[in-house]
Amino acid sequence: MADSKWDVVCIGNAIVDVLAHAEDAFLAKHGMAKDSMMLIDADRAETLYEAIGPAVQQSGGSAANTAAGIASLGGTAAYIGKVADDQLGDIFAHDLKAGGIHFGTPRLVGGEPTARSFILITPDGHRTMNTYLGACVELTPDDVSADVVGGGQVLYLEGYLWDKPAAKEAFLKAARLAHHAGRKVALTLSDSFCVERHHQSFVDLVRDHVDILFANEAEIKTLYRTSSFEDAAEEVRKLGKTGALTRSENGSIVFDGDHWHTIPPMPTRVVDTTGAGDLYASGFLYGVTHDLGIERSGHLAAICAAEVISHVGPRPQASLAALLKEIVA
Amino acid sequence: MADSKWDVVCIGNAIVDVLAHAEDAFLAKHGMAKDSMMLIDADRAETLYEAIGPAVQQSGGSAANTAAGIASLGGTAAYIGKVADDQLGDIFAHDLKAGGIHFGTPRLVGGEPTARSFILITPDGHRTMNTYLGACVELTPDDVSADVVGGGQVLYLEGYLWDKPAAKEAFLKAARLAHHAGRKVALTLSDSFCVERHHQSFVDLVRDHVDILFANEAEIKTLYRTSSFEDAAEEVRKLGKTGALTRSENGSIVFDGDHWHTIPPMPTRVVDTTGAGDLYASGFLYGVTHDLGIERSGHLAAICAAEVISHVGPRPQASLAALLKEIVA
């Protein structure tokens, strides 16, 4: 394999999070499915923003959060995603660059504004997301170059991209470029509703294009139409994939061929689950690109997830590199 | 006194905070005076933003934070301040309205963008602010109406307004309107450098226009050119003012005529001092507008300050109304 410029190249919807606290009754009143991500249009975004309480704004976006986590661990990452030429776009770009992450995707000028996700945190610490995609919709295959994709040991893609045709094409182009360059392709299924919306094409995608699969319990069961987590996991393993499947407070399992490990969760106080899966992926991908082996990579993933759910917001607050020392000591 | 629509009408620089962690060496390298507020221009804002780490964005502005605290206590507030017609302005306006605070100041169209303050939080939890005033500079006397100012039991003004001539005029107009309507005028000195910049006019202002004065130890000593906190406090008392003077970890003193009380600080872990003085003012002003007396108002002020320094960001996260029950029980 050729030398790589980055450990991981991440592609995803480039989003600024608008985080507010809300009661469960608020979710019910506004027809939200708790713990899920719903896509909303500009009108709904406006209505919802008027209804929610005071908020904090922070860069988000699933794959971008993963890139931020890898950088915080001391790894290297590049990011491809579309923001507009506006103040939220400035915020998003600043936070990536401040983390040392390469970000060269041209901004959208004269179109929709930068995407935002209204994230409601219920008293139990769970997050429910309402995403207005805005400028993200204009991510196209032209934004994906062989130079950048070929420069990463692993290409990491989020299932959310599958919601828009041009982004889906960009996604497939990136996967082909990565494999052409001898790189690995990793995917997160992102959301069980997202898996449901694109069921068969996700089944095909995983089989044909993915080397490393991330999913939570609901997502993997939805993908393989089963009520058994173990059966769903076995489907992935039989395909010869590396898998990292999370079960929230029950930890996760990681596997690679015949190597199969149960990873206990790290005990922590859950303040806000936003970014849990994203930072889990940071830890695992850092591990596999630094030859830690899948078991230690799984433990590192759990540590990173625990850090991000211990505070409000989807990006790490503590230096993950310091936490990494616990696992490699 | 006529009925009031609001407990407090607050006027100040309308700012979105950009909060990031930094080491003390970073402050030194960039020539910042720790714990102070420095005004910066657009170029410096850009340079500084490129230098700081990943950030979170949250509505700020000293007097607006105070209004948010009063609303969180269950009180009523109106706010006057200038934001632009941009995304940061949307954030600022949303957070006030979501808190139930009246905010009707017309936005600035076609001028400078909404103000932002780059706030660096050092490992000891202290905050150092670098403020680009942007649209705030366009706050003028036309933005101050007798209707709004006369509608509050107390008018609350921040010393920061004194930095720009038009805002200063708006400030003086508001003070006159408030007294004409039989209302009280409260002022915070805001920052010791701000007091230094406008020394004599602040001395005159306090003497001639202010009923309730908020200041911290550095500010009040700078105002009265003394190294003795007690002497400085006595200067305020001799003028017949109500005073609330804070000494960070040493608590505060409150006085009104011959009534003089020492208020111990509430024990808390200091995470970020941003908003400490602002929320102290929320508690004290809520108290004096709800006939709690100055001693209990001082205790409430200390409770509100303790809440806001226990987390990152200048606005309360907990319901202050719940904390209020401790003091009125």
Q: What is the pLDDT of residues B9-35, one digit of tens each?
A: 999 999 999 999 999 999 999 999 999
Apex A101 CA angle, A319 and B133, nearest 5? 85
Residue of A nearest to B60 (CA): A56
**Using the 8-state DSSP alphabet, how is residue A108 labeled?**
B
Query: How far off is chain A from B28, nearest CA to CA, in Å?
Result: 19
Task: Decide if B42 touches A, using CB distance below 8 A.
Answer: no
Task: Decide if A58 touches B, using CB distance below 8 A.
Answer: yes
Task: Decide if B48 touches A, using CB distance below 8 A.
Answer: no
Task: Decide if B49 touches A, using CB distance below 8 A.
Answer: yes
pTM: 0.95
Q: A55 and B86 in contact by Cβ < 8 A?
A: no
pLDDT band at B207 (very low <50, low <70, confident <90, very high): very high
The residues spanned by each domain of chain A are: 6-12+62-102+138-328
Q: A54 and B59 in contact by Cβ < 8 A?
A: yes
Q: Over 60: is that where the pLDDT of A253 sits?
A: yes
Q: Over 70: is that where the pLDDT of A173 sits?
A: yes
Give, in words, the CATH class of A6-12+62-102+138-328: alpha beta
Q: Over 90: is that where the pLDDT of A169 sits?
A: yes
Q: Over 90: is that where the pLDDT of A318 sits?
A: no
Long-range interactions of B22-31: CB distance < 8 A, separation 24+ = B22/B52, B22/B53, B22/B120, B22/B121, B22/B122, B23/B122, B23/B123, B24/B122, B24/B123, B26/B51, B26/B52, B26/B120, B27/B120, B27/B122, B27/B128
pLDDT at A258: 84
Q: What is the CATH number of domain B6-13+61-107+138-328?
A: 3.40.1190.20
d(CA A85, CA A106): 9
Instruction: Collect all residues of chain A within an 8 Å Cβ-Cβ radius of residue B64.
Output: none
Task: Decide if A57 touches B, using CB distance below 8 A.
Answer: yes
Q: A98 and B52 in contact by Cβ < 8 A?
A: yes
Interface test with B, best of A57, A96, A116, A310 (most B CBs within 10 A): A57
Instruction: Collect all residues of chain A within an 8 Å Cβ-Cβ radius of residue B56.
Output: 56-58, 313
In terms of average pLDDT, the best of A63-72, A163-172, A311-320 is A63-72
Q: Over 70: is that where the pLDDT of B39 sits?
A: yes
**In the A/B pair of chains, how many CB contacts fall below 8 A?**
57
- Chain B segment 230-269 residues within 8 A of A by beta carbon are none
